[in-house]
């Protein structure tokens, strides 16, 4: 029986005089129902071109070293089957590739060293920066509930593959953003009852490049092969920080202003929200504001002139939440003031 083949387009890259020079190279690779992308790359390396460079170790979705961009999305090569890419697999959230061509590229948001190998040092450094161990301090508790263990356990599934970091949209704009994996790990320590320094951690994480720099695009949830859901952890960190009174930052002010506007008027009052968020810094936005006014894009700053339908119901929900707040560590990923 003739062996089926798949066409791979692999991004090759070499650093010459401090400049990365990249080009794609096509390879035709035999496959069957069991072949993974990693096996296909190993076949290329063994049979066609021994210079092709990529990382791998466990071949079992455990070590996190084979992270790469497969058909535009960050995935583990050892977990991704060639057949699923060619035919699509809804259960695994894999769409079929266009024209039967499997595109392979190095992870994004990290410098490429060679071919599919990126420099993971900045990614690891950010995890080190959040102090990834339980610290002593006044906030230490002695009992560990089942729920808090569940939180710790969920984030402990992280295998440091960098897929979330690679697909993070905030990272593209701001390479200094701590990033989804490190923030998820930070949540693991903040939610650990044995942690003694929770408020200090939340203060640190609420600074520039921290939790408020996330755009809540959800790409990290989609990319994570281990179900860690970093964005949910980030939203919980925001809410926990605000509950602890860490509100002296733009992100928290923006979230509070958002909540107050909806509770008061049922709609956002964007000009005032900008003022409340930026305070004196709003002056730096004068040019932008004038442009927006000229183009008629600044909404009416007096929304209370309009009667918003259902406002009483919205206020009732807010009052109910004030009386019975959600337990943020288990439920408040997409609700509550920190969700803004």
CB of 123 to ligand FES, least distance (A): 15
Closest to ligand FES by CB, 56 or 276: 56
Examine residue 180 and tell whether it contacts ligand SF4 (CB under 6 A): yes
> Which residue from 85, 97, 202, 231 is in contact with ligand SF4, where contact means CB under 6 A?
231
CB of 37 to ligand FES, least distance (A): 10
For ligand FES (CB under 6 A), the number of binding residues is 12
Of the candidates 277, 126, 141, 136, the one whose C-alpha atom is nearest the C-alpha of residue 200 is: 136
Closest to ligand FES by CB, 37 or 219: 37
Examine residue 35 and tell whether it contacts ligand FES (CB under 6 A): no
CA 138 to chain centre: 31
Phi, psi (degrees; rounded to nearest 5) at 206: -90, 0
For residue 162, give both structure tokens.
């960098």
Examine residue 68 and tell whether it contacts ligand SF4 (CB under 6 A): no
Q: Which residues pair with 24 in a beta bridge?
A: 11
Contacts of 315 (CB under 8 A, 6+ apart): 263
CB of 102 to ligand SF4, least distance (A): 21
- Sites for ligand SF4 among residues 205-224 (CB under 6 A): 214-220, 223-224
CB of 200 to ligand SF4, least distance (A): 22
Examine residue 70 and tell whether it contacts ligand FES (CB under 6 A): no
Query: Which region, judged by CB under 6 A, interacts with ligand SF4, from 11-19, 54-62, 86-94, 179-187?
Result: 179-187
Closest to ligand FES by CB, 20 or 58: 58
Crossing angle of helices 146-156 and 180-190, rounded to 10°:
160
Query: Which region, judged by CB under 6 A, interacts with ligand SF4, from 165-173, 203-211, 252-260, 277-285?
Result: 165-173
CA 205 to chain centre: 15
Work out what residue 164 binds among ligand SF4, ligand FES, none; the CB cut-off runs from 5 to 8 Å by kind. Answer: ligand SF4
Task: Give the strand pairing for 101-105 and 5-16.
Answer: parallel
Distances (CA, A) of 94 to 82, 88, 125: 11, 5, 31
- Do 165 and 123 touch, CB atoms closer than 8 A? yes
Of the candidates 101, 244, 110, 234, the one whose C-alpha atom is nearest the C-alpha of residue 167 is: 110
| Spatial separation of the C-alpha atoms in residues 37 and 28, rounded to whole Å | 13
Examine residue 228 and tell whether it contacts ligand SF4 (CB under 6 A): yes
Closest to ligand SF4 by CB, 69 or 228: 228
Distances (CA, A) of 265 to 114, 177, 284, 318: 55, 34, 27, 13
Q: Which residues bind ligand SF4 (CB under 6 A)?
A: 158-164, 168-170, 180-181, 184, 214-220, 223-224, 226, 228, 230-231, 234
């Amino acid at each position: 029986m003739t062996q089926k083949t798949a066409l791979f387009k692999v991004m090759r890259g070499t650093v010459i005089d401090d400049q990365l020079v990249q080009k794609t190279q096509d390879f035709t690779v035999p496959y069957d129902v069991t072949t993974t992308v990693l096996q296909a790359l190993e076949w290329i390396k063994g049979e066609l071109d021994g210079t092709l460079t990529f990382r791998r170790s466990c071949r079992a979705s455990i070590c996190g070293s084979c992270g790469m961009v497969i058909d535009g999305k960050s995935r583990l090569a050892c977990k991704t089957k060639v057949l699923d890419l060619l035919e699509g697999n809804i259960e695994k959230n894999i769409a079929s590739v266009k024209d039967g061509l499997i595109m392979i590229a190095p992870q994004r948001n990290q410098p490429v060293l060679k071919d599919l190998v990126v420099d993971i040092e900045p990614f690891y450094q950010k995890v080190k920066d959040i102090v990834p161990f339980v610290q002593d301090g006044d906030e230490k508790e002695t009992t560990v509930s089942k729920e808090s263990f569940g939180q710790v356990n969920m984030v402990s599934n992280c295998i440091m593959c960098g897929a979330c970091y690679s697909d993070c949209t905030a990272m593209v704009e701001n390479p200094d953003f701590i990033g989804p994996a490190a923030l998820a790990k930070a949540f693991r320590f903040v939610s650990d009852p044995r942690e003694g320094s929770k408020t200090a951690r939340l203060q640190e994480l609420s600074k520039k490049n921290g939790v408020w720099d996330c755009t809540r695009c959800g790409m990290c949830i989609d990319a994570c092969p281990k179900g860690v859901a970093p964005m949910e952890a980030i939203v919980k960190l925001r809410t926990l920080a605000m509950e602890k009174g860490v509100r002296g930052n733009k992100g928290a002010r923006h979230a509070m202003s958002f909540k107050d506007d909806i509770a008061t008027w049922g709609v956002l009052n964007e000009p005032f929200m900008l003022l409340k968020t930026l305070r004196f810094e709003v002056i730096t936005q004068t040019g932008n504001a004038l442009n927006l006014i000229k183009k008629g894009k600044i909404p009416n700053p007096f929304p209370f002139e309009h009667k918003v339908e259902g406002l009483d119901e919205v206020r009732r929900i807010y009052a109910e939440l004030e009386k019975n707040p959600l337990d943020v560590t288990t439920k408040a990923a997409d609700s509550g003031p920190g969700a803004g």
